[in-house]
Amino acid sequence: MSQLVDPFGREITYLRVSVTDRCDFRCTYCMAEDMTFLPKRDILSLEELDRLCSVFVGMGVDKLRLTGGEPLVRRNIMWLIERLSRHFDSGQLKELTLTTNASQLAKYAHRLYELGVRRVNVSFDSLDADKFQAITRWGKYEKVMEGLEAAKDAGLHVKINTVALKGVNDDEFEKLVRWSHENGWDVTFIEVMPMGDVGELRLEQYLPLSMLRAQLQKSFTLTDLPDKTAGPARYAWSEETGGRIGFITPMTHNFCESCNRVRLTCTGTLYMCLGQEDSADLRQPLRASDDDQVVEDAVHEAIGRKPKGHDFVLDRRRSRASNPRHMSVTGG
């Protein structure tokens, strides 16, 4: 039984942790090309991240997902993963996963598997190398492909996360499904979320997944599945390819009723909801005292304010983000 229960009776068992706001890509829907990153003094040390994550594990969180930015560009990140993996031995931690752009997986995939990581989510939006370059701005297509091969070779299960971008990759959805399933991977499509000023018009990017699904149903027989992961995706099975397709629809059909997760930024700020601005500063109590009880009290107080749902909306008059934080700050 989780020791963290929000005001709506939802048990909080899943913590997403942004270990850095930095990334070696500049994806058009996530970051501005000329980003201003946080000063080092504001960032939690790896030791502080270990302590804070361990407090959450002690309070009933049994799934940790490390995100960024790009988590694998954080210096000495494998030290933190090795430290967190000790919670497998106690049985308190059931899963330790990452969301990554795969640029560093060729280097780290085998070590991740050795430390107990079994799944990674890979953000990947186009099989066309030129289009991939345009979307990521700084991404190296060949490096990502090498990383995906390394993940497969290491035994890591991969889930491809693709943001549906109208007029950009909307001619590739069938191809992405076939490619993912041929490799034995799930693929999940995600609606553009109105987070941060990224220098792109949101309404020009936005494609409702109801339209994407209708497009896929011209090629695939889709059967809805009851499958539930700790995340917000709803899944369907494709008869023709023998694989799962996920749909994450924060705009057209939110997934708040079963939300079991909170998000911790690399500065120690806890967001109880991705789409709300209410937050709790855990860095101050963490640095003020060696007593974990002080931190636990702050966490309990924050969970007591977790809202029922988010307020994502696209402003059709100004095409602006309804939430000023960049995705890279909160960790997706």
Tokens of 332: 């997706």
Residue 23 is assigned to a ligand binding site = yes
Three-state secondary structure call for residue 64: strand
Residue 273 is assigned to a ligand binding site = yes
Helices of type H across 39-97:
46-58, 77-84, 87-90
**Which amino acid type is present at position 203?**
L
Residue 332 is assigned to a ligand binding site = no
Residue 259 is assigned to a ligand binding site = yes
- CA 194 to CA 237: how far, in whole Å? 29
Residue 30 is assigned to a ligand binding site = yes
Residue 256 is assigned to a ligand binding site = yes
Torsion of CA 121, 25, 69, 36, to 10 degrees: -170
- Residue 277: exposed, middle, or buried by beta-carbon count in 10 A (0-12, 13-18, 19+)? exposed
Tokens of 263: 């998000």
Residue 159 is assigned to a ligand binding site = yes
Three-state secondary structure call for residue 322: coil
Residue 27 is assigned to a ligand binding site = yes
Detail the residues annotated as belonging to a binding site for GTP: 16, 65, 99, 159, 261-263
Binding site, annotated residues for S-adenosyl-L-methionine = 29, 69, 123, 193
Binding residues for [4Fe-4S] cluster: 23, 27, 30, 256, 259, 273
Q: Which residues sit in the known binding site?
A: 16, 23, 27, 29-30, 65, 69, 99, 123, 159, 193, 256, 259, 261-263, 273
